[in-house]
Structure 1
Amino acid sequence: MTTETQPPSFTIPPTAPSESRGPAWPLWMVCAVGVFTGAVILVSALVPSVAEAPVLTAAAVLAFGSFAALCFWLLGKINYFRSAAPETSALAFLWGGFAATGYALLANTAVREHLIAQNRGGSWSLFAPLTEEPAKDLGIVIVLLLASTRPRTALDGLVAGSFVGLGFEIAESIARALNNAIASYPPGQRDNLGSLAVDVTHEVLRNSWTGHIVLTGIAGFGIGYLLTTPNRPAIDRWAVALGLVALAAAGHLLWNTHRFGVFYVLGQFGLLAVYLWLIRVGRNREGELYTPYLEYAPDVVAPAQIAAMRSDAARRAERRAAGRPRQAARERQRALAQLAAGIANGDAQRAHEAVAALSDAPEFRSTRVV
């Protein structure tokens, strides 16, 4: 009689594979045309400024590009069970950086010229939420519908919205840096990197946590909720979606006013608090959705471990109670999350990779008598 170790097993339920969708090419056409034409509009508007400050332009692209890379990494950590596919994040970023920015620039220019003709040019920025927010929100819808793996929770919408907002913010920041240098320095001195340093500092210390990333993420949660909760009453879904989209637009309006003193500051912190709260709500909902799929891997996961994966609070409690090092516990929880997402989405390769990561731990090994 011998005892041998066998790899833990799992099964994928018949309902796990993604449901069929209609043809995606019309949306791809809209996306491609929007990004391309938006890029043409944006680049055409910036060419004169780039010609006057080529060194500053290159430095701005490098600086804000590095900041964007950091944000890509941070936003990729929001989902616990299933991070957005790289191509989905890139598509959202491109829409925000080119399509939304380019067409919002056209609309903003028309509004500004109209108001200048009426001697009210200083108030044009108050109309920006009406031009910029719809352009970004359209991108969220397109990105979610084109995602390689269909969105499961409203958190997927928040992440998509955050990437759209990031693209918009980076493009806007580069354009603002060029405009500020041209407005502040005479010809021949506009490649002033001191001006760029101020703009980068402003982006990191203020815009990154009060600007388009947060605002569009809030709207994205609402849109994601609308698209991922077909079993909820329509009035509830639309109320949440429209409410959060309106909140994002109102936050943008507040952001552009620079008024109301302490209430302006409190409003910015309030929007950040809403964003973080939505992340918490979304992650808990994500846990409720995915953890039941761990029951399809009974040789790998005990019932108590399934319960410990249902929320951020439960996972923290499990790590605190674990006798093993917390880092090891955190890695095992990540592997369990990967296993749950693999089973839920019918991704056998991902599930096998998770099982392989878990099989080295003694508490996850199973034995049989031969």
Structure 2
Amino acid sequence: MSTPAAFVAPRTRSAFDPRSLVFWVGVGLLIYGIVQAGSHVAISLLSAPVPGAFALLLWSGYAAAVLALIQRFAAFERRPALSIAMAFVWGGFIATGIGTVAAPAAHSIAADLVGADNGWATAIGAGAVEEPLKMLGLVALALIPGARIRSAADGLFYGAIIGLGFEVVESFLYSTQWEVSGTSFSTIVLYLFLRGFVGGLASHPTYSAIAGAGVGYFFGSTASAIKRWAVMLGTLLLAIVLHIFFDSPLLEFDNPLPSTAIKSIPVIILALIIVRIVRGKQRKALEAGARDVVPDELVSPADFESLRTRKARKQAVKAMKKEHGRKAARALTGVQRAQLDLLVSALDDGMESVEARAAWQRLYDAQQGLREHMPTAATG
């Protein structure tokens, strides 16, 4: 197999891009968010250090678990850790910090319309403010070239991360405020169970993922401007409506557990439909790339059959392990990862781009490594 000609190391793919004005605006907003949300976190920890530390530990573990789950939904593309961290920070501090000021104002406006004691006022105020704030974080990332928001799949992923950051910090503040007011440690655990596990899949990460898919489509699609704007604003509106519905007094019972579980069902169903659509379009694009863009000696249509799903990749690795051993199986995993990286880079930047040539080199090295463990077999 030929090697990539004139290989040049690629530029760093990250939202950390000091050349971008949007990056520095984000830094300024982060400082503001830390002052606002961070001060509330500090007050909670100082007022009740032991329960505060306990809540921080629980919600940090929850964040790590949900982040791992979100990354499993990223079936094809690896995304930079720094960009993921910046998305989380936007949701956790910038959106939350600005929300501590904007949400009460929106609640006051909603209360004037529906009544101060009406539960809809809180729901409308939260949904109408928090969803646009989180979505703006993704728009900011998309405007930073290094972040590389190129598709609905990118928007879905980073939107979920932004929502996770918001949910974790907001939930930490709520649970510690309850503890400071005199409730027990068990309240923190129950709150984690109710807000994190029962309603977690139908909460902020889901709303922001839905809106994020629209943002990614807006920046990555070649459709008409009208269609792109319609999709982006439509998904934002859907996220707001779902948020308001979930926080509304509809289907409320004395026990919040059944209410939360029932309300979660339609939210999760809609989210899964959108995930399925987005992943299906991404899979079709990569399949077309294997057929029309990337040379067959690197990724053929037949190769893509074993790459198209996580299950198919695992089955191929399992078969390799059975036939040629553990080292060959690990090497095949590296080949699969390099092939997917090449497909993504070739579609985003073209086969002659710096990024694609770097992926090409990684694939060449991975295939050479696989040959060392199975010298008599064809490796692509």
TM range (shorter): 0.7 to 0.9
The yes-or-no answer on 1:355 pairing with 2:364 is yes
Q: CA deviation at 1:59?
A: 1.5
- Whole-angstrom CA distance in 1 between matches of 2:84 and 2:97: 19
The equivalences for 1:1-370 within 5 A come to 9=3, 24-112=19-107, 119-120=116-117, 122-126=119-123, 127-146=125-144, 148-183=146-181, 185=182, 192-229=184-221, 231-260=222-251, 267-294=263-290, 296-306=294-304, 309=307, 311-312=308-309, 316=312, 319=315, 324=320, 328=329, 333-344=336-347, 345=349, 346-347=354-355, 348-359=357-368, 360-361=370-371, 362=374, 363-365=377-379
Deviation at 1:265, TM superposition (A): 5.1
Q: 1:116 to 1:248 in 2, by over 3 A?
A: closer
Instruction: Give the CA deviation at 1:105.
Output: 1.0
Deviations 1:320-343 (A, max 9, x none): 899656994776543421332344
Q: Specify the SS of the correspondent of 2:73.
A: coil
Which residue type is aligned with residue 141 of structure 1? V
Q: Do the aligned partners of residues 173 and 23 (structure 1) sit closer, same or farther apart at CA in structure 2, a change above 3 Å counting?
A: closer
Closer, same or farther: CA 358–123 of 1 in aligned 2, 3 Å: same
Code of the residue aligned with 1:194 in structure 2: it is S
What's the offset of the Cα at 1:263?
9.4
Higher relative contact order (CA 8 A, sep 6+): 1
Aligned partners of 1:17, 1:307: CA distance in 2, in Å?
30
Q: How far apart are the structure 1 equivalents of 2:102 and 2:21? A: 25
Using the size of structure 1 for normalisation, the TM-score is: 0.80
Deviations 1:225-279 (A, max 9, x none): 11111x2122222222222111110110011014236998555222212222322
SS of the residue 1:282 aligns to = helix
Q: Quick one: which amino acid aligns to residue 149 of structure 2?
A: P
Q: Distance in 1 between matches of 2:72 and 2:31?
A: 29
C-alpha separation in 1, matches of 2:109 and 2:232: 32
Give how far 1:160 is off.
1.0
CA 1:340–1:112: 2 relative to 1, 3 Å: closer
CA-based RMSD of the aligned residues comes to 3.5
Segment drifting more, 239-248 vs 147-156: 147-156
How many angstroms does 1:180 deviate by? Answer: 1.6
SS at match of 2:143: helix
User: CA shift at 1:102, angstroms?
Assistant: 0.9
More deviation, 212-221/279-288: 279-288
Mapped contact 2:90–2:165 kept (Cα < 8 A): yes
Task: Determine the C-alpha separation between the residues in 2 that align with 1:139 and 1:180.
Answer: 29
- Within 1, Cα distance between the matches of 2:246 and 2:334? 40
Extract unaligned runs of 5+ from structure 2.
253-257
TM-score, normalised on structure 2?
Answer: 0.78
Identity rate of aligned residues, in percent? 24
Deviations along 1:278-330, whole A, 9 cap, x unmatched? 22322232233334444534334444224554x439x7499489965699477
Residue 23 of structure 1, CA deviation: 9.1
The verdict on how the C-alpha distance between 1:322 and 1:163 changes in structure 2, with shifts beyond 3 A counting, is: closer
